[in-house]
Amino acid sequence: MLTNGETKASHSERDKEEVVLNYPLVSIITPVFNGKKYLEACLQSVLNQSYPRIEHIFVDGGSTDGTLNILSSYQSRYPERIIFISGPDRGVGEAVNKGLAIARGQIFGWIDSDDLYKLDAISAAVEFFRENPDAYFLFGGCNMIDEKGEVISSFTIKDFNLREALNRWHYIVFCATFFKREVVESIGLLNTLGNDLDFYIRVHKAFRMHRIEETLSSWRLHSEGISLSQKARGKSIRRERVKEDFLLCLKHGGSIFSPRSMRYYVTVLSPIINGLRPILGRHYPFIKRCLGMGELYQ
C-alpha cells in the first residue's frame, strides 16, 4: 500500500533501489572463438541462473562458424542480459581483459563458451560475499564433463597453497571462481595467455582466497578445447603456457625439479626425441614413456 503523497513511480524507484542494493550486478565474462558447438548450452546455463541480476559479456576473437549469429540472436532477445563484442585479439587473456574493461558489475566471473554453471552457482557466490563482506575472492567445486555433458570426474578442490601451486598444481578451476571488482583494481588484469596461475599468485599475495564446498560449474573436456587443442584463437598456446608456468615457478621460488619444471623440459626435449625416432628404433616408445611425452597437462 502506498503512503500519503507516495506515487506509483516513486514506489517503483524505491523497489529498484532495493534490488540494486540487495542484488549487486554480476558480470560473467566469456571469451569465444568459433565456439558454436557448445555456445548455446553455456548461454542457457547463465540465463537460467536463479540469481536475478547478471550481465553476460562475450568477447569474440573473429569467429567464422556461426558463433556471431547465435550471439546476435540472443542479444536481440535478452538486450539487458547479453552483450558481445567481436574483433581480433592476441589471446584468451586479452579477450577476458576486454570483457572486464566494459563490465559494469561489482562481482566478476569467467567461464569459457564450452563450460557450464550450476543452477545456483551465482546465487551461492553472491550469498557468500553478502555474509562475508571482507571476502573478495572465492572458488568452489567443479565437475569435468564430456562432449555430451555427462559428468566423467570431479576436480580435486583444496585450499590454495602457493608452494604446491608453483611446483605442481593449484587446484582452482577458473570457471568455479568469483571475485569482486576490487581484486582487478588492486592486482591488475590477466596476461595475454590468460594464465590463471599467474592471476592466482597475484590474488594470493593481496587477498585471502576463500573456498566453499558447493559445486559451482562444469568444465568440458573435449578435443577442440583450449587445454587439449594445439591451437586456439588462431595461435599455438600449449607450449607457451607450459613455458610460462615454468618461468613463474622459478620466479616465485619453485623448484627446478618440480613436476611443472619437468613438463617444460619435456616440451623442449620432445621435438628432439621425435626427430631421433628413426635412430632410436625400438627404444623410442620406452624413452617416450620415461619422458612422459604427450602427458604435459596431467
**Minimum mean pLDDT range among 45-49, 193-197, 275-279:** 275-279
User: What pLDDT is recorded for position 16?
Assistant: 53
User: What pLDDT is recorded for position 10?
Assistant: 56
User: What pLDDT is recorded for position 236?
Assistant: 58
Cα-only R_g, the chain: 22
Q: Is the pLDDT of residue 12 over 70?
A: no
Q: What is the mean pLDDT of residues 251-275?
A: 76
User: What pLDDT is recorded for position 240?
Assistant: 82
Q: Is 233 left (phi over 0), alpha (psi -120 to 50) or beta?
A: left
Asked whether the whole model's pTM tops 0.85, one would answer no
pLDDT in tens, 143-186: 999 999 999 999 988 999 989 888 888 889 999 999 999 999 99
Beta carbons of 28 and 109 less than 8 angstroms apart: yes
User: What pLDDT is recorded for position 20?
Assistant: 58
**Minimum mean pLDDT range among 10-14, 40-44, 75-79:** 10-14
Rounded CA gap, 84 and 64, in Å? 15
Q: How many CB atoms lie within 10 A of CB 99?
A: 23
User: What pLDDT is recorded for position 3?
Assistant: 56
C-alpha triplet 227, 233, 234: angle, nearest 5°: 110
Rounded CA gap, 26 and 14, in Å? 21
Q: Which three cell numbers stand for residue 217?
A: 560449474
How is residue 151 annotated by DSSP? Answer: E
User: What pLDDT is recorded for position 233?
Assistant: 45
- Three-class DSSP labels, 195-244: CHHHHHHHHHHHCCEEEEEEEEEEEECCCCCCCCCCEECCEECHHHHHHH
Average pLDDT in the chain:
84
Question: Domain limits of the chain?
Answer: 17-220, 231-291
Strand partners, 141: 215
> Which is higher by pLDDT, 176 or 249?
176
Q: What is the mean pLDDT of residues 261-265?
A: 78
Q: 82: part of which helix (H) or strand (E)?
A: strand 82-86
* Maximum distance among all Cα pairs of the chain, rounded to whole angstroms: 93
pLDDT in tens, 107-140: 999 999 999 999 999 999 999 999 999 999 999 9
- Distance between terminal CA atoms of the chain? 62
3-state secondary structure of 107: strand
Q: Is the pLDDT of residue 232 over 70?
A: no
Q: What is the mean pLDDT of residues 188-213?
A: 92
User: What pLDDT is recorded for position 292?
Assistant: 52
Q: What is the mean pLDDT of residues 28-49?
A: 97
- Band (pLDDT 50/70/90 cuts) for residue 247 is confident
pLDDT in tens, 50-93: 999 999 999 999 999 999 999 999 999 999 999 999 999 888 99
Rounded CA gap, 190 and 196, in Å? 8
User: What pLDDT is recorded for position 150?
Assistant: 94
Beta carbons of 235 and 91 less than 8 angstroms apart: yes
Rounded CA gap, 35 and 37, in Å? 6
User: What pLDDT is recorded for position 293?
Assistant: 42
User: What pLDDT is recorded for position 274?
Assistant: 61
Q: To which residue does cell 524505491 refer? A: 14
The fraction of the chain above a pLDDT of 70, given in percent, is 78
Domain 17-220 in this protein, CATH class: alpha beta
